[in-house]
Structure 1
Amino acid sequence: MPNRRILSLWFPRMGAERLLRAQRGTTDGPLAVVGESGGAQVLVSLSQAAEAAGLRRHQPLRDATAMCPALVTRTHMPRADADFLTALRRWATKFSPWVAEHPPDSLVIDLTGCAHLFGGEPEVMRQVTEDCEDLRLTVLAGIADTVGAAWALARYAGRGAASARSGDAIDQEAHATRSRAAKRRRWERDVADMVPVAPDSRIAQPGQTRQALAALPLAALRLPPDTVAQLGRLGLRRVEELVNQPRAGLARRFGRPLVDRMDQAMGVSPEPVSPSKPPDHFGVRLSLPDPIGLEEDMLAAIDRLLPPLCDKLTRKAKGARQVQLICHRTDGAMEWAEIGLARAAQAPDRIRPLLELKLAEIDAGFGIDVIRLVATVTEPVSLRQHGGHAEATARALRQQRGETAMEDLIGRLGARVGMDAITRRHPGDSHIPEKTCIVLSAAWSEPAHDWPEPEQPRPLMLWRPEPVQAPTRPTPPETFRWRGRDFTTAAVLGPERIAPEWWLDEPEWRSGVRDYWRVTATSGDRLWLFYAHGGAMSAGWFCQGTFP
């Protein structure tokens, strides 16, 4: 059996170059994609011109604009980047059918038994480079026996363990400044220059994984930055220095993940490339000859897209639970809105009203030239058995009465306030009064019809226990004070003893066993009082509800 060979592809400028491709090269100056990190705006992806200007990823935007006033920025769109990576995965299947995505900007290809079809592994690397040049993409590739080793060669081949910035090495710093070495800003420490090296140096020959990784920095093992910094303070900077250390000591000090990453890179621990079968894609697209911006025009476009989308769902016996409306603007930006349905639907007249409610959230800008509808969440829809005239008549009457009226109402309300805000109650498996029901999302649950009948009547209104001023004895008081009012007892019924769930530590039940009484006051109030016998808290009387 041939040795397993893995090809790792890294697209370090994917976000910025995707935008340059969409703009067809209209931006010649430095371009940066800006995202949010820790409440601050940072550079997520850079074009080649931006990196040549001295900018780095993870650099704060304010520092970048000060260094490069001509910098052009665009907002980070993770969804668009993910879709672009999926398109690249489809392109990569020309080299092997086993291709997996490693978001946000990497692909892993299992080349075992495939490289000879292209003339060998160096020819595969050359073909990858030429294809990406035609696509106007920057790519760095690595080939090795394992996923971890190929990942390391693609990113760190040709880079030594020493930092590119003079003075970053501990032995180059004064003692007083060594403690501040690990505290530098991330974008200053993360100098990940793409070093131009020969393609052959990015290929580890079969069985030579350890030799190929020996001189690479520890970050090549896919370790967290904090772990790399801690190992650097111990004098460990290269992979060969780490793998020669006792494994037991490394595991005790840095945890099992460090040892697992080493084993995966060296081939001791398996790391398969398991591309899953592409899921069924339920999406339709409409390209417009002229940009639109009016809600009436967008609604007309939706009317053209919904029938083919529902036909796709019907052919696969699926129903849509969530549908996305994606609008591509002429300036390259993308607007989208999402709706949810309380029941899976494959009929246009059930989806259209909800999309119409979301049109006001779409900012058309200078116009929309492409509209897409995608069913992002689907569910199987059971097929109905054909019946006779009587059954067909009864089904038609149910539909006429509005069999799906409740689901449609939940969908409309969810489009306004969100699906999570609409809930319903279901029976809970507990004898504690406040836990006899659980709250579920109305869109993802069915109405409950099997409510158990309580042995004792329960109040109409229930709240957290409130203290009652009454004598501290277990017999119902003749007079008591609650919520600033004085009450005189006219009749009592009880007690009903309820013990806490001893396997749970609930603060509300630290007062111990409770004796519940239905107390009717002379004022007509019917209250639900209980006497707590005391446990971790003092004994006393409390009020928890009221009867109609």
Structure 2
Amino acid sequence: MSHRRILSLWFPRLGAERIMRAKRGGMAGPLAVIEELSNTQVISALNNAAVSEGLWVGQPVRDAHAMCGHLLTRSRNIPAEGAFLTALQRWAGKYSPWVAEQAPDGLVIDLTGCAHLFGGESGMLTQVEEDCTDMGLSVQLGMADTLGAAWALARYAGVQAGSDRSGDAISQEARATRARAQKRTPKDSAKRRHWTRGGAAPQTVTLPHGVARIAEPGQTYGALAPLPVAALRLEGTMVSQLNRLGLRQIGELMDQPRASLARRFGRGLVMRLDQAMGSAPEPVSPGSAPDHFAVRLTLPEPIGLIDDLMAGVDRMLPRLCARLEARGKGVRSLRLEAHRTDQAAEVVVVGLARPLRDPARIRPLLEMKLDQIDAGFGIDMLRLEALQVEPIHARTVAGHVQAGAVAQQRADGGTGLEDLIGRLGARVGLEAITRYHPVDTHIPEKTAKVLAAAWSEPAENWPAAPQSRPLLLWPPELVNASDGPVLSVQFRWRGQDWQLAQARGPERIAPEWWLDDPNWRNGVRDYWVVVTSSGARLWLFYAHGGGLSAGWFCQGSFA
């Protein structure tokens, strides 16, 4: 019976070495990658030169600069580190197709039945180390029958189980404390403080290539027993609790009754033990490649007419839409590449208002862009690629309330507005097309917000206003009228005298007291619908004064 073999790769300096690779050797001195934790800047990754200076991961940046005055620092870029780890996952596919990421700085490979292709397990580990050296990466490896054991060997092989400096540990170490403090180097001090925090990542240890990192088939218990309990992928608080009870090695933990461990520490501890020993399954699940939708058409003779280009599009577009439909996706951004005979390429990009996979609806948008293509001496290859895709979910409209919406969908298929937005967007850009959506507020100028039409749904029900609202709204403009809240017969606005013919009101609107709106600091307003002798219908209000002086203002006009 063949044993399952798992290889774990740990890149302890991934963040710093990624930056050094990007700079192509331009950083030869100490380098630290920093991040902010609890309003404090701490080190998240170091290169070899910084480690030799006695710095450690988790150290405050101000302390690191005090120890190493010529230290270079860079901010941590978590998305970039994730993308770099994904690239390393593709590289590790040369050893086995079953490769999975262990964020933020590790990989795991299921090597069952693959090691003999590289000269055995020892030969494979040597090959992996050589590849990582060529890439400028530091790596620590561990191989065992289970994922948990391989993870522990990669990170904790050769690390001695320490104490939490409590209980009997204090009495055992007290006599030698002063002597060691005088002889301790800054580097040793850094290691000690780093380890006593409990549950943190261990310091990297240089080991000779051999059994120290490889647990032979069936020898998982012997390989894990001397390792610290933190090698079981436990939380720091649980590691500290176990250390205070005198349980510092995995072997000591395995000798304890499982029932008592589960009652005191929960089933998580027992589960980690079972996973490390192989009693609980923990498969390696490789990440699936992202969906990529593209089709290509190679032409026997160069073409240059728009009709010929559309004939090529008509052959490619149905194939692309069929692939999208098979995966339940729709395209939101589409790119057409026209490769010319002189090795140049003309590219046009089309954005869609909704994710689509209907060739008949996408074709007109592409046709509008073809006049931007310069055929030159001829085009011999066309390529159509979906740059951005989104899932398309089936919609079911039911009930009497949506009867009008159902009738509209039956009339035009529910696509007329979307197609219009798509065609206008092909000319002026989708970001230039907006629509209004209702907002639940009683403030007149805040009752609607502007959204991009291509990335929003039409509003179905607008809330009814307590009183009629003007068609046009503008910022309040000063009106010269009486000083009091009584509407005068004559008033002056925009340099013109107006005669009052009819008025309806007042409608009192109070400001939002929970917000400090500068436009409403003049207090409560009384709104009036005013009809002038010339027939103009205006929306006037009297501000009673709050933080500002009182007075009359005009804010809108009715149709």
TM-score, normalised via structure 1 length: 0.56
Give yes or no for the alignment of 1:193 onto 2:212.
no
Q: Report the Cα distance in structure 1 between the residues aligned to 2:242 and 2:255, rounded to whole angstroms.
A: 13
- Structure 1 residue 18 displacement after superposition: 1.2
Deviations 1:96-121 (CA, angstroms, capped at 9, x unpaired)? 11101111111110011111111211
**1:106-142 deviation digits (Å, cap 9, x = unpaired):** 1110011111111211111111111111111111111
Counterpart Cα distance in 2 of 1:348 and 1:38: 53
SS at match of 2:263: helix
Worse overlay, 262-271 or 342-351: 342-351
Question: 1:303: which partner in 2?
Answer: none
Corresponding residue SS for 1:194: coil
Q: Which amino acid aligns with 2:222?
A: Q
Contact 1:57 1:187 in 2 (8 A): no
Residue 394 to residue 221, structure 1, CA distance change in 2 (3 Å): closer
Per-residue CA distance 1:127-171 (angstroms, 9 max, x = gap)? 111111111111111110100000000001111212699999544
* Cα distance change, pair 188–66 in 1 and its aligned pair in 2 (3 A): farther
The alpha carbon displacement at 1:314 in A equals 6.3
> Which residue does the alignment assign to 1:256?
267
| Correspondences of 1:443-462 after superposition (within 5 Å) | 446-447=457-458, 460=465
SS for the counterpart of 1:101 is strand
- Which residue identity does 1:197 align to in structure 2? L
Q: Deviation of residue 216 (structure 1)?
A: 0.1
Q: SS state of the match for residue 268, structure 2? A: helix
Alignment correspondent of 1:208: 219
Aligned residue in 2 for 1:101: 101
Q: Which residue of 2 aligns with 1:243?
A: 254
Relative distance call for 1:423 and 1:83 in structure 2 (3 A) is: farther
**Is residue 228 of structure 2 the alignment partner of residue 217 of structure 1?**
yes
Residue 28 (structure 1) aligns with: 28
Q: Distance in 1 between matches of 2:193 and 2:126?
A: 37
Contact conserved, 1:424 with 1:441, CA < 8 A, in 2? no
1:144 aligns with 2:144: yes
Over 3 Å counting, the alpha-carbon distance change for 1:399 and 1:4 in structure 2 is closer
Distance in 2 separating the partners of 1:248 and 1:220: 21
Residue in 2 aligned with 1:354? none
Partner SS state of residue 229, structure 1? helix
Which residue is equivalent to 1:53? Answer: 53
In structure 2, what is the Cα distance between the partners aligned to 1:80 and 1:6? 27
Conservation of the 8 A alpha-carbon contact between 2:421 and 2:454: no
**Where do 1:135-174 residues align within 5 Å?**
135-162=135-162, 169-172=169-172
Tell me the secondary structure at the aligned position of residue 19 of structure 1: helix
Alpha-carbon contact 1:3-1:206 (below 8 Å) kept: yes
Aligned to 2:237, which of 201, 216, 226?
226
1:412 aligns with 2:424: no
The answer to whether structure 1 residue 379 and structure 2 residue 398 are counterparts is no
What percentage of aligned pairs have identical amino acids?
A: 52
**1:124 equivalent in structure 2:** 124
Alignment RMSD = 4.9
Tell me the residue number matched to 1:518. Answer: none
1:193–1:402 distance in 2 versus 1, CA, 3 Å: closer
Asked if structure 1 preserves the Cα contact closer than 8 Å seen for 2:166 and 2:244, the reply is no
The CA deviation at 1:245 is 1.0
Amino acid at match of 2:272: R
Hey, what's the Cα distance between the residues in 2 that align with 1:374 and 1:65? 48
What's the offset of the Cα at 1:232?
Answer: 0.5
8 A contact 2:9–2:154 mirrored in 1: yes
Does the 8 Å contact 1:313/1:319 carry over to 2?
no
- How many residue pairs match? The answer is 367
Q: Answer whether contact 2:424 2:430 (CA < 8 A) is retained.
A: no
Q: 3-state SS of the aligned residue for 2:143? A: strand
SS of structure 2 residue aligned to 1:55: coil
Q: Deviations over 1:431-457 (max 9, x none)?
A: xxxxxxxxx9997774465x79xxxxx
Are the equivalent residues in 2 in contact too, given 1:422–1:443 (CA < 8 A)?
A: no
Show the counterpart of 1:295. none
How far residue 39 of structure 1 moved from its aligned partner, in angstroms, is 2.0
* Change in CA separation of 1:251 and 1:26 when aligned onto 2, cut-off 3 Å: same
Q: Which piece of structure 1 moves more, 253-262 or 399-408? A: 399-408
What is the CA–CA distance in structure 2 between the aligned matches of 1:256 and 1:2, rounded to whole Å?
30
Tell me, in whole angstroms, the C-alpha distance in 2 between the residues paired with 1:394 and 1:185: 68
Distance 1:341 1:157, change over 3 A: farther
Residue 63 of structure 1 is matched in structure 2 by 63
SS in 2 for 1:41: strand
**Is contact 1:143–1:150 with CA below 8 Å preserved after alignment?**
yes
Between the aligned partners of 2:432 and 2:264, the Cα distance in structure 1 is 53
Deviations along 1:255-303, whole A, 9 cap, x unmatched?
Answer: 11111111111111000001132112579xxxxxxxxxxxxxxxxxxxx
Counterpart contact for 1:7–1:108, Cα < 8 Å: yes
CA contact (8 A) 1:96 1:110 kept: yes
Distance 1:29 1:245, change over 3 A: same
Q: Distance in 2 between matches of 1:379 and 1:73?
A: 41
Supply the AA of the counterpart residue of 1:61.
V
Deviation at 1:198, TM superposition (A): 2.5
Question: Which of 257, 277, 286 is the matching residue for 1:275?
Answer: 286
Measured at CA, do residues 374 and 461 of structure 1 come closer, stay the same or move farther in structure 2, by a change above 3 Å?
farther
Whole-Å separation in 1 of the counterparts to 2:50 and 2:39: 23
Whether the 8 Å contact between 1:6 and 1:144 is mirrored in structure 2 is yes
Alignment of 1:345-384 (within 5 A): 378-379=390-391
Deviations 1:36-95 (A, max 9, x none): 212221111100010110111111111111111111111211111111111111111111
Deviations 1:336-365 (A, max 9, x none): xxxx986337989999xxxxxxxxxxxxxx
Contact 2:425 2:431 in 1 (8 A): no
Please name the residue that 1:286 is paired with: none
Cα deviation for residue 23 of structure 1 reads 1.1
1:398 shift after superposition: 6.7
- CA shift at 1:192, angstroms? 2.4
Structure-2 change in CA distance of 1:17 and 1:322 (3 Å): farther
Alignment of 1:510-521 (within 5 A): none
User: Which of 343, 347, 353 pairs up with 2:354?
Assistant: 343
Contact 1:342 1:410 (8 Å CA) reproduced: no
Change (3 A) 1:171 1:271: farther
SS at match of 1:141: strand
Q: What's the offset of the Cα at 1:21?
A: 1.2
CA distance in 1, matches of 2:293, 2:171: 58
CA distance 1:396–1:45, change in 2 (3 Å): closer
Structure 2: distance between partners of 1:230 and 1:349: 67
Residue ranges of structure 2 left out of the alignment (5+ in a row): 178-191, 295-312, 335-350, 367-384, 395-411, 441-450, 468-504, 509-528, 530-559
After superposition, the Cα gap between the structure-2 partners of 1:395 and 1:271, relative to the gap in structure 1 and judged at 3 Å, is closer
After TM superposition, the score normalised by the length of structure 2 is: 0.55
Larger radius of gyration: 2
* Contact 2:421/2:433, CA 8 A, preserved across alignment: no
Contact 1:56 1:191 in 2 (8 A): no
Distance 1:39 1:409 in 2: 45
TM-aligned CA deviation for residue 402 of structure 1: 4.0
